[in-house]
Amino acid sequence: MAVAKFYHLTRDPVEALLPQLIGKAQEIGLNVAVRGTDKARMEALDRRLWLGEGFLPHGLAGGPHDAAQPCLMTWDARPAPDLPNAPRCLVTLDGAPVAPEEALALDRLCVVFDGTDETAVATARSQWRALTGAGVAAEYWSRESGRWECRAKHPR
């Protein structure tokens, strides 16, 4: 069962954190799905990941090799286990949905949200309540001090 880790972005854009989250999951052998809400946004992130430092194997959903992708970028809200690459790690962006049942079936869950956007913060709070209310353990991570710190846990 995953601990839902909520990452509150205030200093850097998602493009800075995403390679770290994907890379760490891949290092321990987990297939990853990155779920957004908009195809154009996911296409832009896909291009950005290919231009970044190092090699981060991934693909954009809808290709002929989706099942073989160690990281699949998608805007599909299907539960992660039903995605072609059967991810054990799910990273959600831009308020993309994640159901408690889905979270409970994963090894790793990362909910990344823009802390400068009031709607994104409200959505993340709602997701926190829904997940923790269903028994999913959760952590809130912030970089307010300059480095990532766990600022809250449920259960404590």
pLDDT over 90 (residue 14): yes
How much is the average pLDDT of 120-143?
96
Q: Tokens 């962006």 appear where?
A: 93
What does the pLDDT read at residue 78? 85
Q: Does residue 146 surpass a pLDDT of 90?
A: no
**pLDDT exceeds cutoff 80 at 100:** yes
Residues in the chain: 156
Q: Which CATH class is domain 22-154?
A: alpha beta
Q: Mean of the per-residue pLDDT values for the chain?
A: 93
Per-residue pLDDT tens digits for 28-73: 999 999 999 999 999 999 988 888 776 788 999 999 999 999 999 9
For 19, other C-beta atoms within 10 Å of its C-beta total: 16
DSSP assigned state of 22: H
- pLDDT of 27: 94
Q: Parse the chain into domains and list their residue ranges.
A: 22-154
Helix 14-27 vs helix 39-51: crossing angle, to nearest 10: 70
State the pLDDT at residue 139. 97
* Region label for 107, one of left (φ > 0), alpha (ψ between -120 and 50) or beta (otherwise): alpha
The pLDDT value recorded for residue 80 is 85
Check whether 74 has a pLDDT greater than 90: yes
* pLDDT score of 96: 97
- Predicted TM-score (pTM) of the model is 0.94
